Amino acid sequence: MGNLVCIGAQWGDEGKGRIVDRLSEQADVVVRFHGGNNAGHTVVVDGVTTVLHLVPSGVLHKSKLCVIGPGCVVDPEVLLQELEMLAARGLVDLTSPERMIVSDQAHVILPFHKRVDKAREVARGAGKIGTTGRGIGPAYEDKAARRGLRMHDLIEPDRVADAVRSGVMYANSVLEALDGEVYKGEEIESIIARLRQQGQKLKPLVDDAGARIHAAAQAGKRVLFEGAQGALLDLDHGTYPFVTSSNCLAAHASVGAGVGPNLLGRVLAVLKAYSTRVGEGPFPTEMTDARGEDLRQRGREFGATTGRPRRTGWLDLPALEYAVRINGVTDLAITKLDVLAGYGELKVCTAYELDGRRLPHFPHDVRKLQAVTPVYESFEGFDKVPDRIASLDDLPAAARRYLNFVVQRLGVRLSIVGVGPGRGQELVMHDVLAG
Ligand code: GDP
Ligand code: IMO
Ligand code: MG
């Protein structure tokens, strides 16, 4: 079939952007199917770094169709900024849906969603989630409550005012209860005026995403579905309530792109050679001491969206086995192997213990997850990983042993290894889009 879903297997920031950029060479259509600009996907080409928040990471290849699917939430201001940056580089054209489209069904993140997101976090105090503050949760809440504004509404100036006024009324009641700053007359009018302008600028790109993807697939084109966040941040299957407000799993690519599940193809899980997490919530293998800080510095683990320091820890196999199972993973892309060079000893968590007993599965209850004791296996470290590799044989023997152990445990084939952030600093062992 030639299609592929690429998802994060941990808590996000696994390196999905650079993998999608590389695999886009083999694809014709690249689709974001959930989330919004809480995502930050980094692509480095010839030393130039591009961080994409909404536009699919295939956009640096000029001939691909990039789609923001119906399952996404779109902040029009952020999208326009990103599109203008890409247009200035000759990569997109804001007047034509030839190369870049936004689903008419995608929901719009409105200014009050961001304010409510932040006010909720303040009100949660020590129990905060550590959201990105981009209004993601409140926008999805309004969608589920059936009062959201969709892209096909945003481009109709007549519809914007009513939707904003009723949305503000609801947001104000929440803000009032949370001691947040409520919206008043003039501010509401200026929001309406700005949204109308943004809607008109985006209008040429608003289209039926599912129909376009389906037609491309029918014509034999290859579709690459680009996940955001990661399995453990999935609204249903992640470490609830310390999750995002969308479904991040591979199966959701169908609903979030508006195509049938038979179009999805293989499932590639991207994982780092160690673990990171931004925001709050359980993280069994976290290193909160100097070793954690050292790994953060070596891996440059600072958020691509918020700049926050990422929490760091050893690789967690019980969590990864869970991610592989619930995503139906067929292929692995292991990134940042180079970051582990220079450690005398490496550790991998192979099991969780709770009250002296081994847990058979990753627990769904965060209180249990918070209380587990990780069981570690130690591995000999390696000094250096080459900047580029042509085969696994170019890696030090100890690095190969580390990879082999992980791959054997996860029980699916290793298809990509990342040894640096730049395009080309990865070994692709299988044509994952061909099967
Ligand atoms: P995403 O959200 O999954 O796309 O990942 P991010 O872009 O947020 O974070 C991944 C970070 O790791 C970025 O700074 C990438 O440039 C970098 N990166 C990705 N793969 C590798 C790799 O194999 N080695 C190194 N050293 N850095 C990498
Ligand atoms: P990419 O696609 C890492 C985290 C936030 C917070 C939780 C909820 O770059 O991998 P939200 O703003 O979504 O309501 O925040 O989810 N989070 C991410 N962490 N990478 C991401 O995206 C993330 N998107 C959201 O830090 O803990
Ligand atoms: Mg990221």
Residue 305: which pLDDT band, with cuts at 50, 70 and 90? confident
Taking residues 196-218, report their average pLDDT.
98
Strand-pair category, 413-418 with 426-428: antiparallel
Taking residues 183-195, report their average pLDDT.
96
Q: What percent of the chain has pLDDT over 70?
A: 100
State the average pLDDT for the chain.
97
What's the gap in Å between 128 CA and the centre of ligand 1?
26
Q: Which ligand is nearest to the CA of 51?
A: 1
End-to-end CA distance of the chain: 8
Q: Which ligand is nearest to the CA of 229?
A: 2
Cβ(272) to ligand 2 under 6 A? no
Tens-digit pLDDT profile for residues 257-301: 999 999 999 999 999 999 999 999 999 999 999 999 999 999 999
Cβ(132) to ligand 2 under 6 A? yes
Half-sphere exposure of 412 (CA within 13 A, CB side): 24
Q: Is the dihedral of CA 357, 362, 365, 371 positive or negative?
A: positive
CB distance 149 to 160 below 8 Å: yes
Q: Which one of 21, 28, 34, 41 is the catalytic residue?
A: 41
Q: Which ligand is nearest to the CA of 335?
A: 1
CB distance 364 to 341 below 8 Å: no
The rounded distance, in Å, linking the Cα atoms of 179 and 123 is 8
Tell me what pLDDT residue 10 has. Answer: 98
The rounded distance, in Å, linking the Cα atoms of 73 and 194 is 18
Taking residues 199-205, report their average pLDDT.
98
- Model pTM above 0.85: yes
Cβ(135) to ligand 2 under 6 A? no
Taking residues 405-416, report their average pLDDT.
98
Taking residues 171-182, report their average pLDDT.
96
Q: Which ligand is nearest to the CA of 417?
A: 1
Q: What percent of the chain has pLDDT over 90?
A: 98
Tell me what pLDDT residue 150 has. Answer: 98
Nearest-CA residue for atom 11 of ligand 2: 131
Biggest CA-to-CA distance, the chain = 67
Tell me what pLDDT residue 6 has. Answer: 98
Strand ranges of the sheet holding 266-272, from the earlier edge strand across to the other edge: 206-207, 100-103, 65-68, 29-32, 223-226, 4-8, 266-272, 331-335, 413-418, 426-428
Cβ(129) to ligand 2 under 6 A? yes
Residue spans of beta strands (DSSP E) within 116-222: 206-207
The rounded distance, in Å, linking the Cα atoms of 17 and 381 is 27
- Which stretches of 15-144 are DSSP H helices? 16-23, 76-88, 111-124, 136-144
Report whether pLDDT(1) > 80: no
Tens-digit pLDDT profile for residues 44-92: 999 999 999 999 999 999 999 999 999 999 999 999 999 999 999 999 9
Choose the residue to mutate in 10, 42, 51 for probing ligand 1, maximizing ligand atoms within 8 Å of C-beta: 42
Choose the residue to mutate in 233, 272, 277 for probing ligand 2, maximizing ligand atoms within 8 Å of C-beta: 233
What's the gap in Å between 36 CA and the centre of ligand 2?
10
Strand-pair category, 41-45 with 48-52: antiparallel
Domains by residue range for the chain, with CATH: 4-103+206-267 (3.40.440.10), 107-202 (1.10.300.10), 272-428 (3.90.170.10)
Please report, as a single letter, which amino acid is at residue 257.
A
Cβ(248) to ligand 2 under 6 A? no
Residue 409: which pLDDT band, with cuts at 50, 70 and 90? very high
What's the gap in Å between 25 CA and the centre of ligand 1?
18
Cβ(137) to ligand 2 under 6 A? yes
Nearest-CA residue for atom 15 of ligand 2: 131
What's the gap in Å between 311 CA and the centre of ligand 1?
15
Report whether pLDDT(389) > 80: yes
Q: Which of 87, 88, 110 is nearest to 204 (CA)?
A: 87
Cβ(134) to ligand 2 under 6 A? yes
- Which atom of ligand 1 is closest in space to residue 42's alpha carbon? 7
Task: Establish whether 41 is a catalytic residue.
Answer: yes
Nearest-CA residue for atom 27 of ligand 1: 421
Task: Establish whether 13 is a catalytic residue.
Answer: yes
Nearest-CA residue for atom 20 of ligand 2: 12
* Alpha-carbon dihedral 109, 278, 257, 261, rounded to 10 degrees: -150
Tell me what pLDDT residue 304 has. Answer: 82
